[in-house]
Every structure is written in C-alpha cells, then in structure tokens.
Structure 1
C-alpha cells in the first residue's frame, strides 16, 4: 500500500498531542468529540472540511463532516461514512469503532488524518485516511486516500456513504459514466458534487444506491438503512432518485487483507465541471495531486 508506514506513523504521532490538548466533551455522550479542520488556500470557490472523532456511548469513531463549497455558511455534504461489512455484520466508522484519532497539518498544505479501528469478524479492521482539497488545475476537488487492513482475507465489502446537504432538500442524484469511471452526481440545480472512487484498475462501483433520507422501505429506502441498518453487504441497486437524498457506493474487498483506494469528490456549478474534476484528480492520483498542491 502507498506510504502506509509513514502515514500511520504520522497519525500516531499526532494522536498523542491531540489527546493532551483537545477539548473533549463529557464521556458517554454523542457530543464527546475532537475536531480538526482543513481546506483550500488558493482555489476559488473554497472547499472546507472537518475531521471529527467521537468517544461516547452513542457514537465512537471518526469521519469527515461539514464539507463546505462556495458558501461558508451552507454545507454541501453533512458527513461521509465508511461502513465495513464482514460477511455477517456492518461496522460504521462513526458509531462502531474501538478507537479513533484525527489530526491535521497546515505547514504547506492543509490536510486532515483519520485513524479508526473497527472490531470485525476474526479481529480488527484498521482504516487510515488522509484527506485534502486539491490546489491543482483539477480544483476544486476533495481527495480521500484510504488504506484498509483486514484481519484475514474474507467476504468483506466497503461502502462509502456521503450525505449531501444541498439547498432545501429538493435535490436529485444519478449515475453517470465518464471514460472507464462510474460516478454519482448530486445536485440541487445550483451546486453539483460528483463522487467517484479508484482502486488500482477498478474505476466502477461494485454496487450503488441513491436513497431518500429517513425512508425505511420501498423504492425510496435510504442508502443508510440499506447499507448499515439492514447491512447485508448487498445494496438494493438503483441509478437515480430525488428528494432529500443520501448515497452509497461499494468496493468489494473479498479476498483482500490490505486494500488501498482513493475517493474523489469534484465540485462545480455544472455537472460536466464536477465530473471532470473528480475524474482528472483520480487519473492524476492522490500523491501527485498532493505534491502539486503544495504552495
């Protein structure tokens, strides 16, 4: 996996300092959290993100929240969950972790780091994530580099669940193809966010769902309910929906003990611009985008 040792070491070194200095809420509540922020320096419109770690009875884990594009007072994506399904149960990075840490650096490039340990069948899954906002010609785009270590090769599936928070909830999302890539595009008619992933040569989703938040069953069943609450590792596939949407897309991890992939989110005021930014960022690669983004 790419730079696994150095990135994990950085997370662990950040973790000690964070534990000593962070203002953490009362233990045993969902509000017990540590938050670290990052965003773009030069790219306009700006993109801002928060990495949040919870350590309470209701929530225990870490994820990205409050992804803001253009308008600092209005979010575009409320949070981005990752769920690991081990063949029997679904395990969410925000709610089911044994331990988690978040950190940030801002020396030459703002980045956030997340480290999450999830108890799964046969042991622990370790998810290390590094997120940055591209400052290249592909900006604005959010890139999340993911490195997953599993206790043994098995029937694992990883599901990414972004929760778009667009306008007044009168939104839509749908799948599009661009070259070899498959993407999900979410929009309220003004802002567009295009979601894609790449694991080596794999550029298509292994499955995807566009749901409506809070719906428990039927054609509009929420992606969160499908992927996590029911959590059987198989999504009820569809290609589009509208309303107060939520999204899910899968990466099959069967047979892997280690897996690295990148999630990209391109932003724009037109579908084509958002799609182009997500695809171009993935074609360039996380490390190349990161290096070019240094100011």
Structure 2
C-alpha cells in the first residue's frame, strides 16, 4: 500500500488476473468458436498499449505543456478514426472517410471544449491530468457510436434497397426515403450510452467513479464527476453521430437522386 493508502498490485498478482483470459480461451475452444487468435491479440495489444500509455502519461503529467496535451489529443483522434476504418467490413470511398473524419473531429472536440471550459473549468486549460482522461472518454465513446451507426446505416441501405428505390420512384426525396434507416442508425449508436445511464449506480458502478473512490476521493465528489462525464459523453456521441449521418447518407446517392450502394 502506498503513502496515499492505495493498494499497489504486485506484479505476480497482476499476472494472476490473466487467468480470466485463459478461462475465456477455454470456453471458446470448448464451444468451437473461432476467436482464440483475436482474444490473444486483443489481450497482448491492450497490455502493451496501456503500459506504453502509462509511461507517456507519467512524463506528460510531470511536464505539463499545451503542445503535449494537444499532441496526445491528436494521437487519440487519429487512432480512433483509423479504428473506425478497420472495424467496417467493406471498402470505404473517400467521401465516407471524409464524413467520418469530420464527425470524429467536430463532435468530440465541441463537446470537449464545452465540458472542460464550462462544466469542469480547470486551469490551465491544458492541465493533462484532466484534459487527457476526459478527452479519451469522450473520443472513445464517439468512436464506438459512429462505428455502430455506420454499420447499422450500411445494413439498412443494403438490405432495404428495393424499398428505398420504390420510395424514390414515388417522389420521395433521398432524405425522406432513408429517414427510417438513418433514425435507426442514430438510435443504435446512442443506445449503449443510454443503457449505461439506466443501469449506472444501481446495477453497476462505472470505472471512473470506482477509480476515484479507490483513490480515496469522497463518493459524493466521485458521483458529481461521473454524472458530468456521462453527460459529456452523451453529448459527444450525439453530436458526432448525427453529424456523420447527415454527411454520410448523401454519399450513397447520385446527383440524380439515385441510390448508389
């Protein structure tokens, strides 16, 4: 236990936690689910990425500077956008990629600036102990939202092509012809955040709040931060996804308002 009363997990005890990965591997092997390689890659990447992030953040926290905070923010944005591209099981044209980039930059950054400047209002604005963790949560959830929204939108437009073309032939505009599917995409993107809000505090305690409590912060202060963060995440996901949908659905239509997917 360190000077602040926080239990320091010994290396061998941390290694013991990987038993849960072994259990998962045994289960998928037993059930004949071909996921072993992905589980191992995910575990190794998670470990290496977090260890590297720990060293980088330690340096940034000890040497706060606006360029370091902005640089780390830019890295998170680039990796999030790249992850979205890789998660979608189809080749994306330049216009769709541009829509994803614009949505991932504008939505999360607008939410981040408002959240940091108005809700938390810490000084200086680039204080990495606040700036980087908050940015990570906001960008990460926006990334998940856009990925879910994109997959749902593509599925709807592909599976219901005949229905959409029929609506267009009857005189519907592209926006009206695909409204059902864009609304469904937005709903699927926001639903995970809403589900978290419904169960939070009763069914489970979120990671940020748990971490603060373990660090010795008052539960009431931790609750204030958690409520604020979750509302910031909701705003970020909503802005990013609606912006993406408004930009993306137009890509699937020609200048003559014909569906092209």
TM-score by length of 1: 0.22
Give the strand-richer structure, 1 or 2. Answer: 1
More relative contact order in 1 or in 2 (CA 8 Å, sep 6+)? 2
Q: Which protein has the larger Cα radius of gyration, Structure 1 or Structure 2?
A: 2
TM-score by length of 2: 0.24
Give the helix-richer structure, 1 or 2. Answer: 2
